[in-house]
């Protein structure tokens, strides 16, 4: 077998293996997927036998891989994968399910990490709080994608399907078990504060109590994130540190974020680039992913680590955010746009 072909085949098989949970054998998976014998699988793993074009395509389709990324063509073109653009409830539901599938794979890997450059509060945190989750989805549908009616009827926050909230909570639970590095700045919480304020003043909440409930869950979420940062570990719903799930939180006073996500599973990188609201483009291009990993590392050297260390700076950041939430609650309590 040609050396380059062998390298490409090895890369493809290693990428497939990285997608598998720890208790699932690569050999058994290849036997089932390619419908070949155990001995045939081992010949392909050793490089004695080449994968056929049909077999390579089958693996790429089954495990959602790009063969272009595997063979690493020597040019400046990069292949991105995208999901269906969000135009309605079904698209949002599909996106949530795909997110759950992706983070389940990451969570089940023995070697895993997520890097997040947070322009907004990562929605994985928000997903642990049902009223806040419903509000965020309401904003996405109403203001980002201008979906004014559901089933030809006007709708409110309470009309967000319960199945969406349940799927979002499952994503949050998976995210809790993944080591994470997040870089925030002072503007990261601003969009959520402004959206609550705007929707309240515009009368887009059903009533004042609904707006106050969202604010209260905002406060609880901030306290939850603070506990993660305080311990340097992900914390479960009972306040107990989750083993092997570290939490690194940085504050950068200069960098303008854009909700970029880089996931790492057994050394394989995936870069998620936002476009058009909460839609994402994804690539496994090794050069770009490696460049982004280096870039994120460089940004951490210019940022302040506030998880576990820097108690004064950590407290100052969260106290200031807590005051902003309380000021918003006080405004809602003393005014009434629903008259």
Q: What are the structure tokens assigned to 207, written together?
A: 């009533």
Return the CATH number at 58: 1.10.260
Same domain, residue pair 162 and 180 = yes
pLDDT digits over 220-237, tens only? Answer: 999 999 999 999 999 887
Contact 231, 213 (CB under 8 A): no
Q: Which of 34-48, 70-84, 269-283, 293-307 has the lowest mean pLDDT?
A: 70-84
Q: Count Cβ atoms below 10 Å from residue 283 Cβ, excluding itself.
A: 20
Residue 272 pLDDT greater than 60, yes or no: yes
Same domain, residue pair 66 and 90 = no
Same domain, residue pair 164 and 25 = no
pLDDT digits over 110-152, tens only? Answer: 889 999 999 999 999 999 999 999 999 999 998 888 887 776 6
Helix (H, G, I), strand (E, B) or coil at 206: coil
Distance CA(137)–CA(201), nearest Å, equals: 18
Same domain, residue pair 37 and 95 = no
Confidence category of residue 88, pLDDT binned at 50, 70, 90: confident
Mean pLDDT of 307-329: 95
Distances (CA, A) of 153 to 13, 33, 290: 49, 45, 47
Question: What's the predicted TM-score (pTM) here?
Answer: 0.81
Same domain, residue pair 32 and 119 = no
- Which of 71, 92, 113 represents a domain boundary (last residue)? 71
Residue 69 pLDDT greater than 70, yes or no: no
Reference 255, options 117, 115, 114; nearest CA is 117
3-state class percentages of the chain: helix first, strand second, coil last, to nearest 5: 55, 15, 30
Same domain, residue pair 21 and 130 = no
Same domain, residue pair 119 and 32 = no
Give 34's contacts (C-beta < 8 A, 6+ positions apart). Answer: 40, 41, 55, 58, 59
- Count of structural domains within the chain: 2
In a domain, 339, yes or no: no
Q: Which residue in the block uniquely carries the two structure tokens 């599973």?
A: 265
Same domain, residue pair 97 and 142 = yes
Share of the chain above pLDDT 90, in %: 56
In a domain, 76, yes or no: no
Q: What is the pLDDT of residue 80?
A: 85
Domain, as residue range, for 121: 81-334
């Amino acid at each position: 077998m040609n050396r380059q072909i062998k390298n490409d085949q090895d890369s493809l098989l290693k990428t497939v293996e990285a997608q598998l949970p720890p208790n699932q054998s690569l050999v058994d998976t290849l036997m089932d997927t390619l419908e070949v014998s155990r001995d045939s699988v081992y010949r392909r793993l050793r490089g004695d036998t080449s994968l056929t074009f049909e077999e390579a395509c089958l693996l790429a389709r089954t495990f959602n891989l790009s063969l272009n990324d595997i063979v690493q063509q020597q040019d400046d073109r990069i292949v991105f994968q995208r999901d269906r653009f969000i135009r309605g409830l079904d698209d949002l539901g599909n996106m949530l399910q795909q997110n759950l599938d992706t983070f389940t794979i990451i969570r089940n890997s023995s070697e895993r990490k997520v890097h997040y450059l947070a322009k907004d509060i990562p929605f994985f945190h928000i997903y642990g709080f049902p009223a806040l989750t419903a509000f965020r989805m309401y904003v996405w549908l109403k203001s980002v994608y201008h979906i004014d009616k559901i089933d030809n009827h006007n709708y409110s926050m309470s009309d967000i399907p319960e199945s969406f909230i349940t799927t979002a909570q499952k994503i949050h639970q998976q995210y809790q078990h993944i080591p994470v590095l997040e870089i925030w700045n002072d503007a990261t919480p601003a969009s959520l504060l402004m959206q609550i304020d705007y929707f309240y003043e515009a009368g887009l909440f059903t009533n004042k109590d609904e707006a106050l409930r969202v604010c209260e869950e905002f406060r609880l979420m901030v306290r939850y994130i603070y506990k993660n940062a305080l311990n340097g570990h992900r914390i479960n719903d009972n306040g107990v540190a989750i083993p092997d799930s570290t939490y690194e939180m940085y504050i950068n006073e200069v960098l303008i974020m854009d909700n970029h996500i880089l996931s790492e599973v057994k050394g394989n990188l995936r870069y998620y680039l936002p476009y058009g609201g909460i839609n994402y483009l994804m690539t496994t291009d090794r050069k770009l992913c490696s460049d982004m990993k280096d870039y994120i590392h460089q940004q951490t050297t210019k940022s302040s680590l506030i998880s576990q260390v820097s108690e004064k700076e950590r407290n100052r950041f969260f106290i200031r955010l807590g005051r902003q939430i309380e000021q918003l609650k006080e405004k809602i309590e003393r005014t009434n746009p629903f008259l």
